Amino acid sequence: MLKVHKGAKNSKSSVVCDALLLDPQSRSDTYPYIEIDEDRVTIGHEASVSKVGEEQLYYLMSRGLSEEEATT
C-alpha cells in the first residue's frame, strides 16, 4: 500500500510486486493499492510473476539444496 498525503508535493515513488511460483498449482494475483491526495506527484507501479529460473535453481543447488528442495 502506498499513500501520498496532501501537501507532499513533488513526491516520487514506485510500487513493485514480485511473485515467484514454486509449483504448477501456484498462482498469484497482484493488485497495487495507491491512494494519492496530492496533485503534483510522480507514481509508478509494476508487477511480475515468474517461475524459478535456471540461474536461480543453479544458485540454490550450489548452496546444497536438492532440485526438489529448491522448487518447493
16 CB-side CA count, 13 A: 3
Q: What is the pLDDT of residue 28?
A: 92
Report phi then psi at 27, rounded to 5. Answer: -150, 165
Q: What is the pLDDT of residue 2?
A: 95
Could you give the residue ranges of the DSSP H alpha helices within the chain? 54-62, 67-70
Digitized pLDDT (tens) for each residue of the chain, 72 residues in all: 899 999 999 999 999 999 988 888 889 998 889 999 999 999 999 999 998 889 989 999 999 999 888 887
Q: Give the residues across from 34 on adjacent strands.
A: 2
Spatial CB neighbours of 72, under 8 Å, sequence gap ≥ 6: 22, 23
